[in-house]
Structure 1
Amino acid sequence: MKTEFIVSDMTCNHCVQTITQAVKGVAPDAVVLTDLAAHRVTVESTADAAALRAAIAEEGYDVQPA
């Protein structure tokens, strides 16, 4: 299942790495694609979208459904 989020405060590669690690903490087999310029994170995983969103938010990011 593909889930997309807008992370408006994702501004650098460190942010990308932190968000990727947060997602993989919930769904180790997830495929995480990021578009830094568009502030978009796409996750291919069977994990619950709410759990993915919560994991990103726990890292301090403002995350909204795309």
Structure 2
Amino acid sequence: MKSVNLKVNGMSCNHCVSAIEKAVGQLGASAKVDLSHHSVQVEFDDSKLSIAIIKEAIEDQGYDVV
């Protein structure tokens, strides 16, 4: 398992947390959102997923991965 911390802009509430955790979860990874630091800690199997795919899933929810 690989772990990466992504900086994500546009998150402000529990709906944001749910949307991102659900989107990342559907890829087979897990996400822990930290609203106060505007970050998402993602754990994933890098033999099955890439960071680019994870970023795309988060951006598809309307958030900015920087």
TM range (shorter): 0.7 to 0.9
Instruction: Return the alpha-carbon distance in structure 1 between the equivalents of residues 61 and 33 of structure 2.
Output: 16
> Unaligned regions of 5+ residues in structure 1, if any?
none
Q: Stretches of 4+ moved more than 2 A in 1?
A: none
Give the aligned partner of residue 43 of structure 1. Answer: 42
Instruction: Return the alpha-carbon distance in structure 1 between the equivalents of residues 58 and 12 of structure 2.
Output: 14
C-alpha deviations, 1:41-64, integer Å up to 9, x for none? 000111211100000001111112
Count of matched residue positions in the alignment of Structure 1 and Structure 2: 62
- Residue 2 of structure 1 deviates from its aligned partner by 0.6
> Unaligned regions of 5+ residues in structure 2, if any?
none
